[in-house]
Amino acid sequence: MGTDINRMEKVWNDFCTLVGGGSIPSEREMTLEFELGHAAGTARIAQFLAAKRELDIEIAFILGVLHDYGRIMTGSKKDHARIGSNYVREYLTQSNCFTEDEIEVLVKAVANHSCKDEVGSPFEELIKDADVLDGFLAGRKPKKTESERRLEAVFKEFDLKEMV
Ligand SMILES: [Fe+2]
């Protein structure tokens, strides 16, 4: 790995290595093709939302990539946010390129990202909205009213015509 690699590239490369390697379960609720597309899509949308909300776009990208880490590691949706937050803490700590404060922000946002009906910290809100928006843009209708509400709020935030 080159020394000039930035943290976004490092996290994305590590993520792809994990997804492409043999260490995760082959029995999965969502395909790995889906997981890769969703991670990349959510990460880019998170950057865009972060720019609008004056949040750090690098942290936003990394959060987008890692938010479903639990589902990557277990293959299951069940409790994937909480489970993922433990894996994310371990990964970020051993990567040695994040401060304790950054790790706390990322871990907390991963842990709570499934609580779409609750309002959390700016990064928690960012990842919930980016998650829902990626699904919508990929052609999946929102299943829950709280997701629909989030979509409507984001469209309003960007002054977009009603899309839901
Ligand atoms: Fe997600």
- 114-143: per-residue pLDDT in tens? 999 999 999 999 999 999 999 999 999 888
Percent of the chain whose predicted confidence (pLDDT) is above 70: 96
For position 3, what pLDDT does the model report? 58
Evaluate whether residue 126 is within a structural domain.
Answer: yes
Q: CATH number, domain at 58?
A: 1.10.3210.10
CA angle 74, 49, 124 (to 5 degrees): 45
How many structural domains comprise the chain? 1
Evaluate whether residue 163 is within a structural domain.
Answer: no
CA angle 146, 148, 153 (to 5 degrees): 95
Evaluate whether residue 2 is within a structural domain.
Answer: no
Residue 33 belongs to domain spanning: 7-157
> Where does the pLDDT of residue 144 fall: very low under 50, low under 70, confident under 90, or very high at 90 and above?
confident
Query: How far is the centre of ligand 1, averaged over its atoms, from the C-alpha of 85 (Å)?
Result: 13
Mean pLDDT for all residues in the chain = 95
Query: How far is the centre of ligand 1, averaged over its atoms, from the C-alpha of 3 (Å)?
Result: 30
- Residue 2 predicted with pLDDT over 60: no
Query: How far is the centre of ligand 1, averaged over its atoms, from the C-alpha of 31 (Å)?
Result: 13
Query: How far is the centre of ligand 1, averaged over its atoms, from the C-alpha of 6 (Å)?
Result: 23
Residue in this structure with the two tokens 């889906």, named with its chain if needed? 34
Which tens digits make up the pLDDT trace of 51-96? 999 999 999 999 999 999 999 999 999 999 999 999 999 999 999 9
Query: How far is the centre of ligand 1, averaged over its atoms, from the C-alpha of 155 (Å)?
Result: 19
- Residue 161 predicted with pLDDT over 90: no
Query: How far is the centre of ligand 1, averaged over its atoms, from the C-alpha of 111 (Å)?
Result: 12
Query: How far is the centre of ligand 1, averaged over its atoms, from the C-alpha of 113 (Å)?
Result: 8
- Per the CB < 8 A criterion, the answer to whether 130 and 46 are in contact is yes
For position 1, what pLDDT does the model report? 46
User: CA 65, CA 109: separation in Å to the nearest integer?
Assistant: 12
